[in-house]
Every structure is written in C-alpha cells, then in structure tokens.
Structure 1
C-alpha cells in the first residue's frame, strides 16, 4: 500500500507544480515538451518516458523491481488525474505556495515509496546505473541527466522557470528528510 500511496503522491505533487505555472521539474519539462509535440497528455507522456527509460537500463545491467514498474504506471496517471481537478491559482503568492506545496508532496511521496525497498523509479535507476558504470559520483550523473532532459524539454516547449529552480534546490534535502522520518515509522504496511 505504501508503494502505491507514495507514487500517487509523487504524481500529485508534480501536477501541483505544473498547475503553478512557474516551471516544472526537469523530467516534467521534458514530458510536457514531448507531450505537446505528440498531442498527448503530460501524464501519459510521463508514463511513456518512464517505460522508454527502462530500455536504457539494459546496457547498464539495472534490474527493475515492483516499484519500478508501478512507477511507470502510476506517477503519470496521478499527474493527469490531479491536474484535471486542481483549480488554477489566481495570483503569484498562490502559485508560489502551490509550487512549494507540490515540491513537498513529491518529496513525501518519494520518501514513502523509496523506503519500501521495492525498486527505484526508472529515472532514478538510470542515474544510479550511469554512476555505477561510469564511475561518476551520483550527484554528477544526476546533474548530467537532468540538465540534458531539462534542456531538451525546454527546446520542445516545456515550461522551465522559477519552479524548476525551486525544485532543483529543495527536492534533494526534502526527500532526505522524508526518507529519514518515514524510515523511523514502525509497522508500515508495504
């Protein structure tokens, strides 16, 4: 249950960030840009990109888990469902609050699903696989991959901006805190 809850929250947080219209997380900038070109929803494109990223795992000898497969199915679906129901924020303070709230929800969702130990999401597995095979530090692999998809997504028309910067600055520390807090909770139903 934690796996599904965590990944649904992750997609919900991404929808909040998109709705804030201040710029998306790097992978969502890419999903939005490709979705616009393909005439698909951003959530469906998020799921399709997740599935395609799994193909990049093959030469890296990464092994998917149940969490990996669930990520491909749930995150984009939650993004689309939540985006359908979210009201448009009216002013800049509301948009900033929605964006920051979305970052916190993504971090909480990440903390919940990562502590299940059922496998990383496709994008995280790509970065850890690149780091392992190349010998790069994980931070360098993450920056290289996320900068690449961010630039590609922006060139395709995805929204990058203040929200993208806020995501980049806050997501790592917030996920770390969420993992630490959730990891201490007794009797979690995985």
Structure 2
C-alpha cells in the first residue's frame, strides 16, 4: 500500500484513531495532513484501489474499497458520525467539496450479491458509480444506492433512500427520495426560531 501525502509515522502518531486494513497490493491513500482524525476505518478488499480525502475533513465511519475502485472526498467535508461507504469492484464514489453528512449514512455502489434472469442467465444488478456534488447536506439515516447522483447544493432529508438523480439546489425526501422543493440553498449556521 502506498501512502501519498503522508507517511507511516503520521499514520501511527498523528492519525491514531484511523485504522487502515489491507491485504492486497497497489492500493493508495491520498490524505491531507489537515485531516481531523476522529474515528475512521479503511478496508481495502482488493487491488488497484484508492482513497483520497481532501483538506480540513472530519469523517468518522467505515470506508470499504475493493478491486479497481476509488473513493474521493473533497475539501471541508464533515460528518457527525457513522458514515459507511462501500465502493465495490470497478466502481467509484465521488463526494465534492463542502459537504455535510449527519449520522448513519450508507453509500453503496453494489447490491453485494448477484441477481440473474432465470431464462437468460443475464446479470440484472450491475454495480454503478455514486456521485455527490459540492455543498450537499445529507441528513440522518440516509441510504444512497448505486447509480445515484446528487447534484451541487442539494439537501437530502432524514431517513430518505436515494436511488437516482437529485437535481442541483433541490430538497429531496422520502423512500424513494423525491424532490419536494427546487431552487433552495442551505447554510451550516443553525436556523433560529421565528
């Protein structure tokens, strides 16, 4: 495994709450030294995989990456806890800059097990990339499924299930998540009582 932008000393001494598990070859981590080490476990389950985490990021949870897959988390990312990212064979998860995730978020690029058509034997549930734009807020207990795209400036409400496209600057809620309001923007500042 190759650590780029950091060295073994920093992982063992500065990032004491980050655990990196790898059994295979040619995996890479790009980690800015301004990463806030809360509690992160990274599992590499294959080869030729990579993880990049940008500047001023605060993430806690589990990131699992398998063969030929990549996870990119942009600058100024924050989470309150329990983010799980599963990037499976040949698929990528991309999260833009200035995103805010609440607790118990699950992002996955696959269904984990194969489903076939009984008559043709054709695989029905291919793995797909997940893309989350810049300045996206994902609230508590959200599940983001393979093939999902959440565009810049959007908010996904608590306990939603995202399985497709959420347009930019939209508020989406429900299972499956549907856009209920367009042309919104959000701020990290707490709202006050009227």
TM-score (norm. length: structure 2)? 0.22
Q: Which has the higher contact order (CA 8 A, sep 6+)?
A: 1
Between Structure 1 and Structure 2, the one with more helix by share is 1
- Return the index of the structure with the highest Cα Rg: 2
Between Structure 1 and Structure 2, the one with more strand by share is 2
